[in-house]
Structure 1
Amino acid sequence: MSKTKEELLEPLGNIVKDVILTDVAPDDLLIESGLVDSLTAVDIVLAVQAAYGCKIPPTEIEEHLESLNALAAFVEENQTA
């Protein structure tokens, strides 16, 4: 069963926290603020892909990792696992 955006926020937040070692709020700007750089972005994308079966195209990583809310919205629409 697919999860809603609201249901995805906590587990996705845990994925992000495991990679960047800090808690983030749903609206925190991840890349723009410097919390996530190109290397940690790849780690997050790979973890999300493994957990939810959705691939984030390389040209769309910055858009979908703008915030936890943006990531949850993408996963909600594209999850297969």
Structure 2
Amino acid sequence: MDINAIEAKVAQLVEGIILTQVDPDTLLIESGLVDSLAAVDVALAVEREFGCKIPPTEIDVHLESVHTLAAFIAERRGA
């Protein structure tokens, strides 16, 4: 799966949790779209979908945006 496909799937997961459409570069936590509970839901969805566990201390870093989360997943998967 290439980075674009990962980004599209991540956007779908995030949008399904927060029920709002987002751009790949939208600041998720900083903008208030993703709160702490939604961040945990996103992290769990990423783990289920991609097999990539996000360390709890790094959730806010990797959930900065759909783009940064997709880059994290691609790096972990070697894409």
What is aligned with 2:40?
42
Looking at structure 1, the residues matched to 19 and 64 of structure 2 have their Cα atoms a distance apart, in angstroms, of 17
What is aligned with 1:62?
60
What is aligned with 2:74?
76
What is aligned with 1:51?
49
Runs of 5+ consecutive residues of structure 2 not aligned to the other structure: none
Runs of 5+ consecutive residues of structure 1 not aligned to the other structure: none
Q: % of aligned pairs identical?
A: 54
The Cα offsets for residues 7-50 of structure 1, whole Å up to 9 and x where unpaired, read as 21111101001100011100000000000000000000000000
The offset of 1:78, in angstroms, is 1.2
> Normalised by the size of structure 1, how large is the TM-score?
0.91
> Normalised by the size of structure 2, how large is the TM-score?
0.94
Q: Which amino acid aligns with 1:10?
A: A
Looking at structure 2, the residues matched to 45 and 13 of structure 1 have their Cα atoms a distance apart, in angstroms, of 13
Secondary structure class of the residue paired with 1:48: helix
Matched, 1:12 2:10: yes
Looking at structure 2, the residues matched to 64 and 5 of structure 1 have their Cα atoms a distance apart, in angstroms, of 15
Secondary structure class of the residue paired with 1:19: helix
